[in-house]
A = this chain, B = another copy of it.
Amino acid sequence: MTAQRRVVAEVLDGEHVHLTADEVHARAVAKLPEISRATVYNTLGELVSLGEVIEVSTDKRAKRYDPNAHRPHHHLVCAQCGAIRDVHPTGNPLSDLPDSERFGFTVSDVEVTYRGLCPNCAAA
């Protein structure tokens, strides 16, 4: 556990947000100016493998990193401004997929993304 890794972990711990790798890097630099982008990518990759952080691809551009990995949840995204909220739907989508629709796959995970307009963008 090096200083760099601690800083990256701190950035994600701080508030519960969904940051891109570049945003994580920017905030990490604020705490430890000489940290490099490569290290941020490495560390994020490790956190993901450890299951501490989830990669979310709600955005077409960049992956986002969600530190709220321990409580299963899904995402609600504003199609206009890109705002993201964590949501907890009832029911388990995995049980909605009958065997006949699994094509022999071993299905282990499901990711649900709701899209719509946030109150702000809907008003505008």
Q: In the complex the two chains form, is B111's CB within 8 Å of A113's CB?
A: yes
Q: In the complex the two chains form, is B109's CB within 8 Å of A110's CB?
A: no
Closest residue of chain B to A112 (Cβ to Cβ) is B112
Does A26 have its Cβ within 8 Å of any Cβ on chain B?
no
Does A71 have its Cβ within 8 Å of any Cβ on chain B?
no
Q: Chain B residues near A97: list those with CB within 8 A.
A: 76, 87, 89-90, 114
From B57, B63, B79, B107, A76 is in contact (CB under 8 Å) with: B107
Closest residue of chain B to A59 (Cβ to Cβ) is B57
Q: How far is the CA of A78 from the CA of B102 in the complex (A)?
A: 11
Q: In the complex the two chains form, is A63's CB within 8 Å of B63's CB?
A: no
The 5 closest A-B pairs by CB, nearest first: A107-B116, A104-B119, A89-B96, A109-B115, A91-B96
